[in-house]
């Protein structure tokens, strides 16, 4: 006699398999979205490292803050070799984009000046840096102007000649900016630090134009007195850093956003 077949028990938990697959796919989707959103940070790191490698012989140069500030994020964010670059959209997105010209436009000039002025940089007479608005060459007052005057020290002309040679090879506008420390000045010639800083900028412009044939049309001057310090004014060493004339070679981004345009 055959035994009657027992009815198989219905499985009410089979929906869990489909649910688990759905959750897995949803998780993968958000991982891909996160990786794609991080592409710019890894790109900033790559551009920063490439520029630094190209300028590895330069002195007193720090490109990483400029790259990070323009592209966003920080250059310390890790992105090489992980999903940020290798994930879907990461490598393709990065390959299609090119480094911002505002960042690397003046890199060759920076390297040239760092080499030409290597001795002055070592002596602390000149500092060179790259900023979001362009290449900044800081001429320290102690090496270029006697204290409290706008008369250029004749011994500084060889350094200015090196600087002028590099500037003549460019077409970018130049802003010459005078700066002082916070100690007030009031003499027969200068009523305030405002006049002193502006007059020093004018003196530098006149030397570049008359002795080294830099066109006046490429230059502009500004006097900031003690309003844009790069150090505190609490010690003589710190105040000496603030007494300077900055030559700013503007990049294309700064030209578009800050320079006045002639009307026709």
99-135 pLDDT per residue, tens:
455 557 788 889 989 999 999 999 999 999 999 899 9
Instruction: Note the pLDDT of residue 61.
Output: 47
Neighbour count for residue 108 (Cβ, 10 Å): 14
Instruction: Please state the rounded mean pLDDT for residues 178-191.
Output: 94
Q: What is the largest CA-CA distance in the chain?
A: 130
pTM > 0.85: yes or no: no
- Give the range among 101-105, 157-161, 178-182 with minimum mean pLDDT: 101-105
pLDDT level of residue 11 (50, 70, 90 thresholds): low
Closest CA to 248 of 139, 125, 120: 139
- Residue 105: what pLDDT? 76
φ/ψ bin of 94: left (φ > 0), alpha (ψ from -120 to 50), beta (otherwise): alpha
pLDDT tens track for 217-262: 999 999 999 999 999 999 999 999 999 999 999 998 888 777 666 5
Question: Which carries the bigger pLDDT value, residue 27 or residue 259?
Answer: 27
CA distance 54 to 42: 19
- CATH code 3.30.1330.60 region(s) in the chain: 105-258
188, two tokens: 């027969």
Query: Average of pLDDT values for 140-148?
Result: 94
Say whether pLDDT at 181 is over 60.
yes
Question: Rounded mean pLDDT of 4-8?
Answer: 57
What are 68-85's pLDDT values in tens digits?
Answer: 444 444 444 444 444 444
For position 48, what pLDDT does the model report?
Answer: 56
For position 9, what pLDDT does the model report?
Answer: 62
| Assigned fold of 105-258 | 60s Ribosomal Protein L30; Chain: A; (3.30.1330)
């Amino acid at each position: 006699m055959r035994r009657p077949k027992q009815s198989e028990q219905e499985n009410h938990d089979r929906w869990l398999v489909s649910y688990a697959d759905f959750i897995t796919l949803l998780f993968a989707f958000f991982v891909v979205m996160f990786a794609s959103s991080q592409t710019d940070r890894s790109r900033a790191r790559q551009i920063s490292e490439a520029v630094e490698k190209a300028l590895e012989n330069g002195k007193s140069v720090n490109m990483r803050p400029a790259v990070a500030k323009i592209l966003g994020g920080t250059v310390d964010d890790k992105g090489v070799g992980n999903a940020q670059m290798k994930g879907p959209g990461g490598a393709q997105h990065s390959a299609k984009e090119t480094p911002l010209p505002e960042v690397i436009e003046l890199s060759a000039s920076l390297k040239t000046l760092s080499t030409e002025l290597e001795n002055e940089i070592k002596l602390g007479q000149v500092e060179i840096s790259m900023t979001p608005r362009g290449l900044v060459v800081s001429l320290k007052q102690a090496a270029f102007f006697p204290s409290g005057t706008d008369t250029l020290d004749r011994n500084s002309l060889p350094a200015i000649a090196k600087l002028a040679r590099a500037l003549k090879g460019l077409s970018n506008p130049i802003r010459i900016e005078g700066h002082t420390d916070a100690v007030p000045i009031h003499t027969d010639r200068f009523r305030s630090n405002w006049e002193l800083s502006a007059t020093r900028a004018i003196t530098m412009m006149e030397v570049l134009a008359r002795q080294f044939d830099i066109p006046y049309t490429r230059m502009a001057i500004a006097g900031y007195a003690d309003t844009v310090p790069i150090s505190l004014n609490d010690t003589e060493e710190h105040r000496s850093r603030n007494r300077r004339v900055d030559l700013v070679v503007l990049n294309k981004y700064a030209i578009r956003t800050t320079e006045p345009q002639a009307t026709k």
